[in-house]
Amino acid sequence: MMTLTLHNTLTRKKEPFAPVDPTRVTMYVCGPTVYSRAHIGNARPAVVFDVLFRLLRHVYGANHVVYARNITDIDDRINKESKETGKPISEITSVTTQHYHDDISAIGVLAPTIEPFATQHVGEMIAMMESLITEGHAYAAEGHVLFDVTSFYAYGKFSNREKEDMIAGARVEVAPYKKNPGDFVLWKPSSDDLPGWDSPWGRGRPGWHIECSAMIEKHLGETIDIHGGGHDLIFPHHENEVAQSTCAHGGAPLARHWLHNGFLSVNADKMSKSLGNIVTVDQLLAAGHNGETIRFALLSAQYRQPLDWTQDLLAQAKSTLDRLYGTLDNLSDVDMADNATPCPNVLSALSDDLNTPRALAELSSLCKSANTSSEDSERASLKGLLLKSGGLLGLLQQDPESWLKGGSNEDDTEIDALVDARTTARANKDFAESDRIRDDLLARGITLEDGPDGTKWRRGG
Ligand code: AMP
Ligand code: ZN
């Protein structure tokens, strides 16, 4: 079996990955906070960890990988959004969750094995806080529960930070009830107008960090194989998850392998709602881009590298996919081999810390070989390698002919009808009419190709 090597934030090195139990590989990724529609930067971790999920399923077997990606539906940003818009919280979280599902499935992201919601796990969070209090790692004060950072000898080690930096970086609130300025909130009181749950400390709500620790424990166990998220989560979110879970579990590590994706930027600025430079998947789809083009663009840089989002990036992704689908279209006369597997070069690129740019380049070289091959068994085997490798990346699974036609089904039906009308006109030797239809279609950017099997059409030249 090929060795899978992944960078580990814990050691800041690439390391071979081996799960504790190869029949139950566990992965958790911090999902979206559902206060407003996710942007294409938020979609990057969804796509990156989707590729890792697909690779793990390939290596260990689809039934042996348990992937949990949560929905953070308790958060002060949601409460703020509700105050500002006058919409009920439940409406904001359910609509935003639905948008998230729509957007990421449009870019080929598989559903995770489990999708836990914070609101469904408040009982588990309270139980974890109680055990942290019993063990002397947390304390209750004025309706709050706080984690005592001095109680965990390794606090700060995960993110490699000095205490002073951590306090400044987390912008932790200085409050009279805190023992140390760096102590972070596990629970806080809710006024009547805010969502709240009954607890031993009164009506209140959990902090963000404890949500993930409790959901991981419940669904995946005390120590998981892989934990992922964007690199902005290393501190304070993951540092605090590590502190809570390690202390609640008698020192057992929370995760053995930590992966963090780099950021998506626009003109070198991070894409973020507060900078007003966000683009969402639904906007790109509405502008006529295909979900697969967006996915390809997101995978064109290795996940730890920054990725600058430009029109040119999308245009290049589209033209490469056009070439790949063009090859698959040319291979439509052969069936892929029954025992087809992904190309070893694609597997080895992905096994090298998810080197997606190299994997994509390998797809192109498979196409070059296919384009120059005239031997049917070789073409069938190349077709198998292309489709299976594409499957690992979540690409190339559409019908090549409809990809090359592009556009919506509605337009397609109309264009098909016009092409048929032209064929009839030609059969009737009404060349004035057939030329008129061809020119009309050309004006709409549709090119016709007459061949022995009839007329094919495609968008663009
Ligand atoms: P949030 O909904 O803000 O909690 O973010 C959801 C996920 O998206 C987290 O894993 C973030 O690290 C990640 N993320 C947010 N902005 C970006 C960006 N511009 N590029 C890449 N990842 C991002
Ligand atoms: Zn988390």
Distance 30 CA to ligand 1 centre (A): 9
| Nearest CA-CA partner of 235 in 178, 158, 164, 162 | 158
Ligand 1 atom 2, closest CA: 32
User: By alpha-carbon position, which residue is closest to atom 7 of ligand 1?
Assistant: 42
CA end-to-end distance (rounded Å), the chain: 45
Residue 387 alpha carbon to ligand 1 centre in Å: 30
Position 285 scores a pLDDT of 94
Ligand 2 center to 243 CA (angstroms): 12
The CA-CA-CA angle for residues 420, 426, 428, to 5°, reads 105
Q: Alpha-carbon distance 68 to 457, whole Å?
A: 43
Q: What is the pLDDT of residue 163?
A: 66
Question: Which residue, 451, 457, 453, is CA-closest to 418?
Answer: 457
| Ligand 1 nearest-atom number relative to CA 271 | 19
Ion ligand 2 contact residues with beta carbon within 5 A: 30, 212
Closest ligand to the CA of 227: 2
From ligand 2's centre to the CA of 141, what distance in Å? 25
- The number of the ligand nearest the C-alpha atom of 116 reads 2
Measured between alpha carbons, how far is 196 from 204 in angstroms, rounded to an integer? 5
How big is the chain, counted in residues?
A: 461
Pocket perturbation via mutation, ligand 1, pick of 42, 73, 261, 278 by most ligand atoms within 8 A of CB: 42
Query: Which domains occur in the chain, in start order?
Result: 18-265 (3.40.50.620), 311-402 (1.20.120.640), 407-459 (no CATH)
Structure tokens at 36: 């407003």
Give the ligand at the shortest distance from the Cα of 39: 1
HSE, CB side, 13 Å, CA atoms: give it for residue 212.
Answer: 30
Over the stretch 28-79, which tens digit does the pLDDT of each residue have? 999 999 999 999 999 999 999 999 999 999 999 999 999 999 999 999 999 9
pLDDT for residue 67: 98
Q: How much distance in Å is there from the Cα of 235 to the middle of ligand 1?
A: 13
- According to DSSP, the residues that pair with 16 across neighbouring strands are 5
pLDDT of residue 2: 77
In ligand 1, the atom with minimum distance to the C-alpha of 42 is: 8
Gap from CA of 42 to ligand 1 centroid (Å): 4
Partner residues linked to 255 by β-bridges: 224
Interatomic CA distance for residues 195 and 188, integer angstroms = 11
Q: What is the pLDDT of residue 400?
A: 96
Ligand 1 atom at minimal distance to the Cα of residue 229: 10
Provide the pLDDT for residue 168: 64
Q: How far is the CA of 121 from the centre of ligand 2 (A)?
A: 14
Residue nearest to atom 12 of ligand 1 (CA): 230
Q: How many A from CA of 230 to the centre of ligand 1?
A: 6
Nearest CA to ligand 1 atom 18: 41
Q: Which of 74, 211, 232, 270 to mutate to test the pocket of ligand 1 (most atoms within 8 A of CB)?
A: 232
- Would you state the structure tokens that stand for residue 33, as one six-digit string? 């906070």
- Using CB distances shorter than 6 Å, the residues near ligand 1 are 30, 32-33, 41-42, 44-45, 229-230, 232-233, 261, 263-264, 270-272
Rg (CA), the chain: 26
Q: What is the pLDDT of residue 449?
A: 85
- CA–CA distance, 60 with 67 (Å, rounded to integer): 13
* Atom number of ligand 1 nearest to Cα 231: 12
pTM of the model: 0.90
- pLDDT value at position 415? 84
* Ligand 1 centroid to residue 315 C-alpha, Å: 24
pLDDT tens profile 323-366 = 999 999 999 999 998 889 999 999 999 999 999 999 999 999 99
Q: Which atom of ligand 1 is nearest to the CA of 29?
A: 10
3-state SS of the chain? CCCCEEEECCCCEEEECCCCCCCCEEEEECCCECCCCCCHHHHHHHHHHHHHHHHHHHHHCHHHEEEEECEECCCHHHHHHHHHHCCCHHHHHHHHHHHHHHHHHHCCCCCCCECCEHHHCHHHHHHHHHHHHHCCCEEEECCEEEECHHHCCCCCCCCCCCHHHHHHHHCCCCCCCCCCCCCEEEEEECCCCCCCECCCCCCEEECHHHHHHHHHHHHCCCCEEEEEEEHHHHHHHHHHHHHHHHHHCCCCCCEEEEEEECCEEECCEECCHHHCCCCCHHHHHHCCCCHHHHHHHHCCCCCCCCEECCHHHHHHHHHHHHHHHHHHHHHHHCCCCCCCCCCHHHHHHHHECCCHHHHHHHHHHHHHHHHHCCCHHHHHHHHHHHHHHHHHHCCCCCCHHHHHHCCCHHHHHHHHHHHHHHHHHHHCCCHHHHHHHHHHHHHCCEEEEEECCEEEEEECC
Residue 403 dihedral angles phi and psi, to the nearest 5°: -60, -50
Tell me the C-alpha distance between 264 and 283, whole Å: 17
Counting as low any pLDDT under 70, the low residues of the chain are: 1, 163-173, 407-410, 460-461
CA of 266 to the centre of ligand 1 (A): 14
Nearest CA to ligand 1 atom 15: 42
Question: Atom 17 in ligand 1: which residue has the minimum CA distance?
Answer: 41
Closest CA to 251 of 160, 150, 153: 153
Ligand nearest to the CA of 231: 1
